Structure formats: structure tokens, C-alpha cells
Amino acid sequence: MNIQQLLTQRISQAMIMAGANSDCDALIKQSAKVQFGDYQANGIMATAKKMGMPPRALAEQVLKHLDIDDIADKVEIAGPGFINIFLKASWIAEQNEIALNSDKLNITLPAKPQTIVIDYSAPNVAKEMHVGHLRSTIIGDASVRVLSFLGHNVIRANHVGDWGTQFGMLIAYLEKMQNEHANDMELADLESFYRAAKKHYDEDEVFAEKARNYVVKLQSGDEYCRTMWRKLVDITMTQNIATYKRLNVTLSLNDTMGESIYNSMLPGIVADLKQKKLAVESDGAIVVFLDEFKNKEGEPMGVIIQKRDGGYLYATTDIACVKYRYEQLHAERIIYYTDSRQHQHLEQVWLIAHKAKYVPESLKLEHHMFGMMLGKDGKPFKTRSGDTVKLNDLLDEATERATALIRAKNPELTNKELAQIVDAVAIGAVKYADLSKNRTTDYVFDWDNMLSFEGNTAPYLQYAYTRVLSIFKKAGITDDDLTGTVSLASDKERALATRLIQFDETIATVAAEGTPHVLCAYLYDIATLFSSFYENCPILTAENDTLKMSRLKLASLTAKTLKIGLEMLGIKTVEKM
Ligand code: ARG
């Protein structure tokens, strides 16, 4: 149980004993200011109102019944009826000790791990990954890491766009290329491949005819078309996997669950929705009309699930997909990481799946949406010439910038050391810049900010981590040498130690809401609190050995927290920089 849960339990118990309903909410929050203690209960006012009682009177009753002496040494009523809780230093110290001695820093693990499908990254075949895929890929991967750490059965689902009518022209073009360039071809530049295929399709009627013919053949399972299609998928995914590796993202080839795998389900879905009277024919197409969504004219919105020419749509695939994830993967929770423009699409898909009883209401369906990545001019992030920025180009630039920066800071590094640090810093900076912003809004991509060693950045945290390690190195001490107990005499020690044991509730929030920025803000706090602790409380030159050991323990827990926290974000640490 994390501190928030523990205090919720204690305060609620007292509220119930004071006459509140058993469903009363203590609303425990971390206090924003030291004078309000470490935590505050904000739920007294609302409950008192329900009970028809003055809030301060209820607060007084709650304090009378409250059993909290083991955790807190001061509890007071403030303002109209807030309860401020001041944790006991000895209890905080003890919790630090426990965290330090447990292998997952004493994080509360769920009583019943869930099967959670995380739908993320999802680039399209025969196209190179661009910055538009960055947010889904790295926020999704952070979620994967956090939920896996908690012991959930996490299934990564890379819903790549590997199906659709464009494959006719892509196959026709691949064939043309192969004929011209002998057998072994490599799609060094997928982007121009796609563009060239499209150009041929638009300009060459013979080619276009062939392409249309290939679409039909591919969909009916023709072996030649299938093989060519496979080639396109393999070439694209091999390149994407290399990019994932570079990004330190955990997606592998096995996680590819593209749109194509649902293809065989689609005719059955359409027939079933028709039979259930959910889908009707309209202008030759098959449409599901939803009363819950209104179009501009105020009429029920129609979701097309089969076009007049027999083709299926993105929505049809997603309806099949959610059914599959429930039935075959036994998902209990599905999280989609796509940008906010796909919100309505997903809501409609889920609604249809619910109406058709493909998935039960108990299945948790969540869209963890995000805004766009903007340039410094506030417009969507583009190259100078206005093209979309390829992900690999972006990472190349990050590497170049980080190399110059690290080399200037530390000229003595060997090339090998330099390369390792640059990899951690460059990729870390790009990822952290994204992860540290609230995902629901757009954010401005700014090289100078993200690579700065000051402020809430990856390099700052990575550097803070190396500083803690260097203390141990300097003293010739390892974790195994730590003895004695943690004691918290000064404010700085207490502040750091208190924040350290809030790792548990921080992770709980991130796991529930898919908000890595909360973890970033937390780690940044830890790094700054450590820094002021270190400046004010000598560690290696402490007055006595007992104090030195206590402070080394806080330093050790700081390092572990930073390392595990950054790992959850998919950001590497180095031993020196
Ligand atoms: N490939 C899609 C795109 O690039 C994203 C897929 C998201 N997942 C899903 N199940 N629809 O927009």
C-alpha cells in the first residue's frame, strides 16, 4: 500500500466512525506547501455537507477517532476543514530503509495482475517512420515498461498499416524495381519508393490497371501477391525494428499485429452487424448509424464499414481488432496510443463493439491521446523545406548535437566512452522532452532546451545520477557496505527521504493514467532535492560514521530511484559523463 492509500484508509475509517457513509472519500493529496504538512485530506467539506454538519465539527470528530500515531506526529485542522498530516521522521526513515532493502523499491504490486494490450507506434508499411510516430512510440513504450514492472501481463500490439488498396500499386512497383534492378533490392529510402509508386499509378494507365488487379488478387489470397506483399512488410519492419533499437524502445518483430491479420474476420463482422440490425445498406455502402454521435445536420452519424465497391475501412478493422484482443488475447484492459484526432474514430469503434456484444462493459478501453509536436514557430514540426521530418534524421541530428556538447564538456573521454554517453544523452534528451510534457497538449520541440544540463531534462537527470555514483566511487564503498539505520535530522534529509518514498504513488498514477510526465516531474524533484541535500549535508565528511552511513543510504536510494525511474521511461543511464 502506498502512502496515499494508507492515509486514505486511516482517515476514511475515522470519518466512518464519525458518522460518515462508508463510501466517503477522504481525498488525500500531497500537500503543496510545507506548512500544510506532507499530506492533506480535502474530503471533509464535501462529506460534512452530505451529513448536514459544519465541516470543522466533522474534522474535529475525525481527529478524535483517528488512529495514526505510528505514521504521523502531528495532525491539524486548517481553514474550513482541511486536515493536514505531518509524517513522523522515524516512520519516513523506516520506509526508506524498507525500500532500499527490497528489490523493487517496495513498490506496491497489484493483487491481481491484468492482461493489458498496449496499442502503440503503428507506422505504415512502405513508408519511413517520421516524427509523427515518435509520441505514440515512446509514450506507449513507457507505459509498457511501467505496467510490466508492476507485474502485469503486457501485450505490445504494433497495429501497423499493412493492408489496403495502396498495396496493389506498391506490389506493381516492387515488381518493376525487381525487374530493373535484378533480384536483391533494398528499399533504402521507403519514402521515395512510395512516392514513385504513386507517381506511376497516377501517370501510367497500364501500371494502374495492373495495380488494381493486384489489389483484388492480394485480397483473394493469391500466392504471388502475398509473397510480394510479405517482402514489403519485411523490408519496412526490418528498418523500423532498427529504429526502435536505436530509440531503446522494446518493440520487436513479434509484436507486429498489423491490420492485415484482421482481414479474414471482416466479412463475418459485416454480416453479423447486418444480421443484428446494427448495420444497414445506405447508398450501396454498409453503414452503422449511431444515435450517440450527431453529424452537422444533427442526424445520427454513420460509420461506413463496407464501401460500395466491397472494400473495408479502418473502422471495420478496428472493430475486428478489439473483438480479437478480447476473445483471443484475453485482454482486460486495452490502451491505444494515437493522436487526439483519432478519438472519435475509437469511440465509435468501441460503441459498435459494445452494441454488438463483441466485448463486455468490464473490458477497460482507454485512448491515451496526445497532441502534436510543434516547431519553434508554433506550427507542426517540419523540415526547412516543409517536409515531414524522418525519425532517423531527427535522431542523427540529436546525436550530432550531443556529440559536440559532451566532447566540449569532457575532452578526455575515449571514443568508446563518448559514443556510449552520446547515445544515452541524445536519445534520452529527445525522448524525455516528449515524455516530460503533459501528453494531452501540443508541445514545442526545442533542441537547446532538451539538451540543456539545467532544468527538467534528461541530461540533468542522467548527470545527477552519475554524481551520486561518484560519491560511492570516491569513498570506495558499495551498497553491500552500508550498515546502520537512516536518521533524518535536518530538513533537507527529511525532504529528500519523504519524496523518495512517494515513488510508489507516483508509479500508481502513471500506471492508471498513462502520464509519464508525472514520473518525469517526480524524478526531477528527486534530483533537485538530492542536490540541495548534498550541498547542505556533507556525506563523506559527515561528523560521524553513523551519520555518514545514513546519508549514504539516502544517496543509494536516490540513485536506485533515478535509475529505475529512467528505465521506466526507456532512458539509459551511464556511470560517468
Ligand atoms: N496506423 C495508424 C496511423 O498511422 C495508427 C493505428 C492506431 N491503432 C489502432 N488500433 N487504430 O494513424
- Specify the pLDDT at position 75: 97
Share of the chain above pLDDT 70, in %: 99
Q: Residue 66 — very low, low, confident or very high, per pLDDT cuts 50/70/90?
A: very high
- In the prediction, which pLDDT does 209 show? 95
Q: Determine the CATH number of domain 391-568.
A: 1.10.730.10
What pLDDT was estimated at residue 183? 52
Name all contacts of 540-545 with Cβ < 8 Å and 24+ positions apart.
540/471, 540/474, 540/475, 545/484
The C-alpha atoms of residue 97 and residue 497 are separated, in whole angstroms, by 10
**pLDDT for the residue 403:** 95
Which residue's alpha carbon is nearest to atom 5 within ligand 1? Answer: 122
How far is the centre of ligand 1, averaged over its atoms, from the C-alpha of 160 (Å)? 7
The per-residue pLDDT for range 431-452, each reduced to its tens digit, is 999 999 999 999 888 888 989 9
> Which of 342, 344, 388 for mutating ligand 1's site (highest number of atoms within 8 Å of CB)?
342
Q: Which of 99, 108, 101 is nearest to 151 (CA)?
A: 108
The answer to whether residues 94 and 310 touch, using CB atoms and an 8 Å cutoff, is no
Helix (H) or strand (E) holding 72: strand 72-78
The residues lining ligand 1, judged by C-beta closer than 6 Å to any ligand atom, are 119, 122, 124, 159, 161, 318, 321, 336, 338
Q: With 70 as the cut, is the pLDDT of residue 82 above it?
A: yes
What element of type H or E holds 568? helix 545-568
* Residue 305 near residue 319, CB atoms below 8 Å: yes
By alpha-carbon position, which residue is closest to atom 11 of ligand 1?
Answer: 318
Which residue puts its alpha carbon closest to atom 4 of ligand 1? 123
pLDDT (tens digit per residue) in 121-176: 999 998 888 888 999 999 999 999 999 999 999 999 999 999 988 899 999 999 98
Confidence of residue 310 (pLDDT cuts 50, 70, 90): confident
Average pLDDT across the chain, whole number: 94
Q: What is the per-residue pLDDT for 92?
A: 98
For ligand 1, the distance from its centroid to the CA atom of residue 337, given in whole angstroms, is 8
The SS3 call for residue 230 is helix
Query: What pLDDT does residue 189 have?
Result: 67
* pLDDT at site 484: 93
Please choose from 133, 159, 366 the residue to mutate so as to test ligand 1's pocket, defined by most ligand atoms within 8 A of CB: 159
Burial of 52 (0-12, 13-18, 19+ CB in 10 A): exposed
Confidence check: pLDDT of 307 > 80: yes
CA of 143 to the centre of ligand 1 (A): 17
The pLDDT of residue 186 is above 60? no
CA distance 252 to 242: 10
Ligand 1 centre and the CA of 183: distance in Å?
Answer: 32
Distance 159 CA to ligand 1 centre (A): 6
For residue range 484-543, what is the model confidence (pLDDT) as tens digits?
999 998 999 999 999 999 999 999 999 999 999 999 999 999 999 999 999 999 999 999
- Give the C-alpha separation, 141 to 370, whole Å: 14
Say how far apart CA 20 and CA 61 lie, in whole Å. 11
C-alpha cell, 276: 443484428
Average pLDDT rounded to a whole number, residues 201-230 = 93
Q: What is the pLDDT of residue 50?
A: 94
What's the rounded Cα separation, in Å, for the pair 543 and 540?
9
Domain coordinates of the chain in residue numbers? 3-87, 166-257, 391-568
Pick the residue whose CA is nearest to atom 2 on ligand 1.
122
Q: How far apart are CA 44 and CA 18, in angstroms?
A: 11
CATH of domain 3-87: 3.30.1360.70
* pLDDT for res 296: 87
Encode pLDDT of 31-44 as tens digits: 999 999 999 999 99
- Identify the CA nearest to 63 among candidates 49, 50, 44: 44
Percent of the chain with pLDDT over 90: 84
**pLDDT tier, 324 (very low <50, low <70, confident <90, very high otherwise):** very high
Pairing of strands 82-87, 39-41: antiparallel
**Would you tell me the crossing angle of helices 503-513 and 545-568 to the nearest 10 degrees?**
10
CA of 240 relative to ligand 1 center, distance in Å: 15
Residue 534 CA to ligand 1 center (angstroms) comes to: 47
3-state secondary structure 246-307: HCCCCCCHHHECCHHHHHHHHHHHHHHHHHCCCEEEECCEEEEEEEEEECCCCCEEEEEEEC
Distance of CA 431 to the CA centre of its chain: 11
Residue 188 has pLDDT above 70, yes or no: no
Whole-angstrom distance, CA of residue 319 vs CA of residue 313:
10
Mutual angle of helices 223-246 and 391-409, in 10-degree steps: 20
Query: CA–CA separation, 318 vs 321, rounded Å?
Result: 5
Cα 158 → chain centroid: 14
